[in-house]
Amino acid sequence: MTTYRELLQQTKSEISEVDARAAQERSGAVWIDVREADEWQEGHLPGAVHIPRGYLESRVEAVAPDKSQPVILYCASAARSAFAAKTLEQLGYTDVHSLAGGFTDWKRNGLEIVMPRTLSPEKRTRYSRHLLIPEIGEEGQLKLLDARILLIGAGGLGSPAALYLAAAGIGTLGIVDADIVDETNLQRQIAHSLDTLGSPKVDSAKRAIQALNPDVDVVTYRERLTSENIDRILDDGWDLILDGADNFPTRYLVNDASVWRGIPVVHGSIYRFEGQVTVFKPHDGPCYRCLFPEPPPPELAPSCAEGGVLGVLPGIVGSLQTNEAIKLAAGIGDPLVGRLLLFDALATEFSEVKIDRRADCPVCGEHPTITEYIDYVEFCAR
């Protein structure tokens, strides 16, 4: 029978153990902390990746795909990391070392450590389904919690966006809307309810958001967005804008301000059974004026109030916008930059067209001719 102590000694004799200085000299090494989550939270080595010992075999290939790459493993005092080193050798890693003395000696010798930002146990539970996705994980969720997203409109598109962004844990949501909730809104604007009929939409939406997720700070602007107030609102600092406006003057106003300030806009628009979604990322891709240099005449641009809209359509289009917003906030995936996604609810058909930047765009082109706010109502009434 072998005791633990004998097994540890046997293992240590079969693997490479290196001291801190020798470990730091291994250039290009992947440092893996194999301790438990609570130990990691109390501090770890700079640049280390956390894989608890129990997940080592299943996750190591994702962080160290090249098996000839140097790997430094550490735990509290070089016991678990010794066994871990042995395991990695069995997996075919050829340059694996266990850090002698582990984290305890490292810290005792006054070497640099990092205190990780982590989620509280409550947030860990709430966002567990995000944390399980490798592309999001704790780091991505922290980004979402730090994100500040401004919603233009708390109507058809703004409602699902507000709810899903809140559920996703976007830390701060701004909402601009001057309207009050009326009965005709309830066919589709799911952030509002019978209880809030007659209330300002921003207050109604704030109530729905807070009922869903108290982690979210909600900043309300009960006003119609204009050239006069847009700078004050944008000065509050927003990482991105989700545009669910219901009129052309606001769309062009939001575009111009966002290009000048370099704020990405997730655009969505709907009518009857059809929707359009894209992302305008200033100077990386086209802007709204590159896509639509001028608005159609009023008779070709009826609003939903005039022409109607299928109630679920803003749910679909607003959710697609939210998907783009979450990806941008977490820094993952391929956003709809330079691509206009068209959705036809009657045919249940998605199509996509390419949008290019226009060199002659009056706002984001090579020689801009519009460099300050114009009279957007007049521009759209021509």
Shortest reach from residue 314's CB to other proteins, in Å: 7
Shortest reach from residue 238's CB to other proteins, in Å: 17
Nearer to other proteins, 115 or 346 (CB): 346
DSSP secondary structure code for residue 196 in this structure: G
Shortest reach from residue 117's CB to other proteins, in Å: 35
Assigned token pair, 292:
């639509």
Nearer to other proteins, 98 or 258 (CB): 258
Going across the sheet that includes 71-74, the strands are 16-18, 96-99, 71-74, 30-33, 49-50
Are 245 and 226 in contact by the 8 Å Cβ rule? The answer is: no
Nearer to other proteins, 119 or 245 (CB): 245
Are 70 and 99 in contact by the 8 Å Cβ rule? The answer is: no
Calpha distance 102→19 (Å, rounded): 9
Find how far residue 2's CA is from the centre of its chain.
51
Shortest reach from residue 89's CB to other proteins, in Å: 52
Nearer to other proteins, 127 or 343 (CB): 343
Nearer to other proteins, 140 or 153 (CB): 153
Nearer to other proteins, 194 or 300 (CB): 300
Assigned token pair, 291:
């896509």
- Half-sphere exposure of residue 324: CA atoms within 13 angstroms, side-chain side: 25
Nearer to other proteins, 237 or 293 (CB): 293
Shortest reach from residue 222's CB to other proteins, in Å: 17
- Rg over CA atoms, the chain: 27
Shortest reach from residue 55's CB to other proteins, in Å: 44
Nearer to other proteins, 144 or 355 (CB): 355
Three-state DSSP class for 352?
strand
Nearer to other proteins, 139 or 360 (CB): 360
Q: From 120, 111, 110, 127, select the one nearest 41 (Cα to Cα).
A: 120
Are 159 and 207 in contact by the 8 Å Cβ rule? The answer is: no
Assigned token pair, 265:
């806009």
Q: How many CB atoms lie within 10 A of CB 231?
A: 12
Shortest reach from residue 269's CB to other proteins, in Å: 4
Shortest reach from residue 147's CB to other proteins, in Å: 21
Shortest reach from residue 382's CB to other proteins, in Å: 10
Q: From 265, 242, 244, select the one nearest 255 (Cα to Cα).
A: 265
| Residues at the interface with other proteins (CB under 8 A) | 152-153, 155-158, 243-248, 251, 268-274, 276, 291-297, 300-305, 307, 309, 314, 342, 344, 346-347, 351-356, 358
Calpha distance 261→7 (Å, rounded): 62
Q: Return the bridge partners of 17, or none.
A: 98
Classify each residue of 252-270 as buried b or exposed e, where b means 16 or more C-beta atoms within 10 Å of its C-beta.
Answer: bbbbbbbbbeebbbbbbbb
